Amino acid sequence: MKQIFSYLIFGIMAIMGGGTSLFLVISLPAVIIWKIYRKIRYGYKITD
């Protein structure tokens, strides 16, 4: 019974960690592309 609980906890932690990593992998390039687009289109500073 303890081993099943350990596998369950491990699975939940893997899903949570994977979700966080996926969010970072997608959102960071999206923000960089959005900043470059605004720089080209509207002339804003990249740091704004």
Query: Does 47 score more than 90 pLDDT?
Result: no
- 48 secondary structure, DSSP code: -
Is pTM, for the whole model, over 0.85?
A: no
CB 13 within 8 A of CB 23: no
pLDDT band at 46 (very low <50, low <70, confident <90, very high): confident
Token representation of residue 31: 């923000």
Q: What are 6-39's pLDDT values in tens digits?
A: 999 999 999 999 999 999 999 999 999 999 999 9
First to last CA, the chain: 54
